[in-house]
Amino acid sequence: MKRLHRLTSLLIKLQSSKTLNVKKVANEFEITERTIYRDLKALEDAGVPIGYEPGGGYFLLEGYQLPPIHFTSEEAKAVVTAQAIIQQNNDNSLVSTFAKAVEKIVAVLKSGDKDEAIELKDRIAPSLSKKVFNSNSLMTIQECIINFQVLKLEYTDASGKMSEREIEPLAIYFTQSDWVVVAHCRMRNANREFRTDRIRSIKLIDSYFPPNQFSLTDYFKLQESLHSS
């Protein structure tokens, strides 16, 4: 990777994450950590305000913004391909939101790249046997996870029984066919899983729960240990 490309990539990583771990980036770029430190110094010398948090990593100081990003032809094609995959998803809010994002990306492409992306869109499509949309709540749930906001659900369990639940959404994951919300159920006073296709209605409540450091990785490990014991 040439240095100019590496510096640009490093700057994008700084802006797209809370902190930058030098060791991880060095491994990703297949260069030494010393080279990353030199690149960070070069960015600082060029006027990029970079801070450091002991034990955390490097970060951009608040207020600094990159100029508009230009996508390469390969990156644009990857996004168009990803749209075809996401169209197979069973949550309409995700499908429609991603489609709007793709439109914005295609709009800023150079003329030749734009023509190629549009041509590719016409030649990539989800299977005709794709699953009919049966969820429209994913974007709302994501916002509540970020904002620690309580949700009220009308939910149908596996037996077909309907119930009302107030939940504190913690995380979401995708199976081969469904989105699943991991949440603290106030009725059960325990963490439970809720499939989005079984949510009959969803309502934001003007109530918030304490911020937490929930880890989906740790949750999966705990579930695995409980099932194996």
Q: What is the pLDDT of residues 170-224, one digit of tens each?
A: 999 998 778 999 999 999 999 999 999 999 999 999 999 999 999 999 999 998 9
Residue 167 lies in a domain: yes
Residues 37 and 88 in one domain: no
Residue 68 lies in a domain: no
Final residue of a structural domain among 16, 36, 60: 60
Residues 192 and 149 in one domain: yes
- CA dist 117 and 83 (Å) reads 12
Residues 28 and 52 in one domain: yes
**C-alpha 85: how far from its chain's center?**
15
Beta-bridged to residue 122, according to DSSP, are none
Residue 172 lies in a domain: yes
Domain range enclosing 149: 138-228
Residues 88 and 43 in one domain: no
Distances (CA, A) of 153 to 21, 179, 210, 216: 39, 15, 20, 22
- CA dist 177 and 89 (Å) reads 8
CATH number for 188? 2.30.30.520
Q: What is the pLDDT of residues 51-109, one digit of tens each?
A: 998 888 999 888 776 666 678 888 888 998 998 888 888 899 999 999 888 888 888 78
Output phi, psi for 148, to 5 deg. Answer: 55, 45
| 0.85 exceeded by pTM | no
Residues 117 and 43 in one domain: no
Task: Write out the H or E segment, with its range, that includes residue 179.
Answer: strand 179-185
Residue 160 lies in a domain: yes
- Quote the number of domains for the chain: 3
Residue 127 lies in a domain: no
- Could you tell me the two tokens for 102? 């793709």
